[in-house]
């Protein structure tokens, strides 16, 4: 049977992030279900006219509310990502893109106890590009950093502009190179070329991946 994932890496990436987002939403719903069940459990033995522990119920209601806010954040973030496929060319804010990529990869990083921090530029940097391909390229760079980092490490991502070029960087404080490293680097180059960029990789004690994109300003 033909494995279409290699022919369509975007589909594979979309599937991976869909699975992570829906897993997180499943956890949110499970918590809401348990707390609503708890409310019913507390009410069940009461007779009409018996007092209710108001503070307790308020506390539970607040916890349910917090989960709905969390669930809404997850949904909005994933919806934003889904809409990156609407158009092959759109004005995007690079810090927002990097924050979205970081948030969408949160579960993968937390499973490895790795922290991702986004470094924002002082002024917003916007450019016209293919938003989905840009997120795919950034996501691939982040994946490489996650697989090259020991547990409990840190990854810093951000962007800067210098001499007409935008640089998106992905830095780990560790550099564990596995057998598949070269293939991963090749795949990043394939995603970056459609957005007119090129990739540089430095690997010493730390790993730093940079995507350079011409920026007319």
Partner 1 sequence: MKDLKVLVVDDEEEFVSALVERFTLRDIYAVGVTDGKLAVERVSEHDFNTVILDIKMPGIDGLEVLKALLSLKPKLKIFIITGYGSTDLGADGLKAGAVAYLPKPIKINNLIQMMRESLDNDGESSE
Question: What H or E segment, with its residue span, contains residue 68?
Answer: helix 54-82
Please, what is the minimum distance in Å from the beta carbon of residue 59 to partner 1? Answer: 11
Min dist. Cβ of residue 98 to partner 1 (A): 22
The number of C-alpha atoms within 13 Å of 105 and in the hemisphere containing its C-beta is: 29
Using CB under 8 A, pick the residue from 43, 69, 111, 186 that binds partner 1.
111
Contact 7, 49 (CB under 8 A): no
DSSP symbol at 125 = -
> Which residue of 12, 34, 115, 201 would you call a contact of partner 1, by CB under 8 A?
34
The reply to whether 67 sits near partner 1 by the rule CB under 8 A is: yes
Stretch that binds partner 1, among 72-80, 107-115, 161-169, 205-213 (CB under 8 A): 107-115
Interface with partner 1, residue 65, by CB under 8 A? no
What is d(CA 206, CA 152) in angstroms, rounded to the nearest whole number? 15
Is 124 in contact with 105 (CB distance < 8 Å)? no
Inter-residue contact 97 to 84 (CB < 8 Å): no
Distance of alpha carbon 189 from alpha carbon 76, whole angstroms: 29
Residue 5 near partner 1 by CB under 8 A = no
Among 11, 29, 176, 186, binds partner 1 (CB under 8 A): 29
State which of residues 9, 16, 99, 112 lies at the interface with partner 1 (CB under 8 A). 112
Site residues for partner 1 per CB under 8 A:
19, 22-27, 29-31, 33-35, 37-38, 41-42, 63, 67, 110-113, 151
């Amino acid at each position: 049977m033909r494995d279409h994932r290699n022919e369509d890496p975007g589909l594979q990436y979309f599937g991976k992030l869909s699975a992570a987002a829906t897993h997180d939403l499943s956890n949110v719903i499970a918590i809401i279900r348990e707390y609503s069940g708890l409310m019913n459990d507390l009410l069940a033995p009461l007779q009409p006219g018996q007092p209710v522990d108001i503070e307790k119920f308020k506390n539970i209601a607040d916890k349910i509310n917090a989960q709905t806010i969390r669930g809404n954040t997850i949904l909005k973030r994933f919806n934003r990502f889904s809409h990156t496929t609407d158009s092959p060319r759109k004005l995007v804010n690079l810090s927002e893109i990097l924050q979205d990529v970081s948030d969408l990869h949160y579960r993968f990083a937390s499973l490895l106890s790795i922290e991702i921090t986004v470094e924002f530029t002082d002024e917003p940097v916007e450019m016209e590009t293919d938003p989905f391909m840009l997120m795919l390229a950034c996501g691939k760079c982040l994946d490489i950093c996650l697989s090259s980092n020991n547990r409990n490490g840190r990854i810093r991502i951000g962007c800067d502009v210098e001499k007409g070029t935008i640089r998106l960087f992905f830095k780990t404080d560790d550099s564990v190179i596995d057998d598949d490293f070269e293939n991963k680097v090749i795949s990043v180059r394939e995603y970056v070329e459609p957005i007119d960029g090129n990739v540089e990789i430095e690997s010493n004690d730390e790993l730093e991946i940079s995507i350079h994109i011409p920026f007319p300003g």
